Amino acid sequence: MQLIIREIIAKSILTKSGIPGADYCINPYIGCFHGCRYCYATFMKKYTNHEELWGSFVDVKMNAPEILRRQLKRAVKGTIIISSVTDAYQPVEGRYKLTRRCLEELLSYQFPVGILTKSPLVLRDMDIIKKFRDIEVGITITTNDERIRKIFEPKAPPVEARIQTLKRLHENGIRTYVFIGPVLPMNPEALCGKIKPYVDYVFIDRMNYVSKTVNIYNQLKLQKWLERNFVDEVKRRLRRGFDKKKVTFCNK
């Protein structure tokens, strides 16, 4: 599938957040190359008038750093999460560097920052990240089974690459966490053993398809895809999931 990239001009980049613990969010891109099967962010198509399949388009907010600079001048200081909707370190970031430039703007104001990504590309910005007084980086890992990852997240980085990213961040003194959401089929003990040395805490979340923010179309589309490709036992395991909670992992 060919990726359609559009360069657009945004009206705003620093927006109020409805996520607990975050006052603002920043998303330099609309759409996401990763195109994960379970992604709740497909609801964005409702507001952006995209007809393309989710995962086949990315809109690049070319003026994101400049508009962020203006907004920060009048913003009340608060916690900012980067990548609340789409991954700020998806492959196009390697070319456009909007996330890096936004971090440079935030550094001047020292707003508390949280980054959530699936991508090792976040390591490129280690030099900036280490200059923040209050920052943490989360890595989304939904399974320890690479076969499952390829089914649900075919264009996202491999599981081992994400674990090595955690390791590098931890070794550089960065506060880190793992976001296990949604919970896909896995060996939890094996995943625990691999990430325990490198995380401060873990978030666990079930599939987000009863949320008011998710349109019924995507829920039905996923259900049909599961019924076409998975046996009943796997579907039952996916539906059980876990309630979202912040936990100290493995008695660390």
Q: What is the mean pLDDT of the chain?
A: 86
Residue type for position 2: Q
% of the chain surpassing 70 pLDDT: 79
Cα–Cα distance, 189 to 77 (Å, whole number) = 40
Is pLDDT above 90 for 243?
no
- The pLDDT assigned to 235 comes to 52
State how far the Cα of 79 lies from the Cα of 65, in Å rounded to an integer: 18
Residue 76: what residue type?
V
Mean pLDDT value across residues 38-58: 77
Q: Name the β-bridge partners of 118.
A: none
Smallest CA-to-CA distance from 84 within 9, 4, 16 is with: 16
Query: What confidence tens digit (pLDDT) does each residue in 69-87 have?
Result: 999 999 999 999 999 889 9
| pLDDT range class, residue 211, cuts 50, 70, 90 | very low
With contact defined as beta carbons under 8 Å apart, do 185 and 148 qualify?
A: yes
Reference 184, options 217, 163, 153; nearest CA is 153
pLDDT at 94: 98
Return the DSSP state at 63. Answer: T
What's the confidence (pLDDT) of residue 10? 96
**Better-scored residue on pLDDT, 224 or 176:** 176
Reduced to 3 states (helix: H, G, I; strand: E, B; else coil), residue 232 is helix
Distance CA 175, CA 2 (A): 36
Average pLDDT over residues 26-48: 83
pLDDT digits (tens, 9 = 90+) for 116-133: 999 999 999 999 999 999
User: 88-120 pLDDT, tens per residue?
Assistant: 999 999 999 999 999 999 999 999 999 999 999
- The per-residue pLDDT for 74 is 96
- Residues 173-186: tens digit of each pLDDT: 999 999 998 899 89
Say which residue, 173 or 55, is predicted with more confidence: 173
Vertex 101 angle, CA 98 and 102, to 5°: 85
**What percentage of the chain exceeds 90 in pLDDT?**
66
**What is the pLDDT confidence band of residue 46, given thresholds at 50, 70 and 90?**
low
Confidence of residue 224 (pLDDT cuts 50, 70, 90): low
For 233-242, what is the mean pLDDT? 50
On the CB side of 78, how many CA atoms lie within 13 Å of its CA? 19
Cite the DSSP H helix spans in the chain: 45-48, 64-74, 93-96, 98-109, 126-129, 146-152, 159-171, 188-195, 216-229, 232-240
- Rounded Cα–Cα distance for residues 3 and 155 (Å): 12
CATH number 3.10.100 given to 4-251: no
Closest-CA residue to 71 (of 117, 8, 23): 23
3-class SS at 193? helix
The answer to whether residues 40 and 95 touch, using CB atoms and an 8 Å cutoff, is no
Query: Is the pLDDT assigned to residue 213 strictly greater than 90?
Result: no
Q: What is the 3-state secondary structure (H, E, C) of 82-138?
A: ECCCCCCCCCCHHHHCHHHHHHHHHHHHCCCEEEEECCHHHHHHHHHHCCCCCEEEE
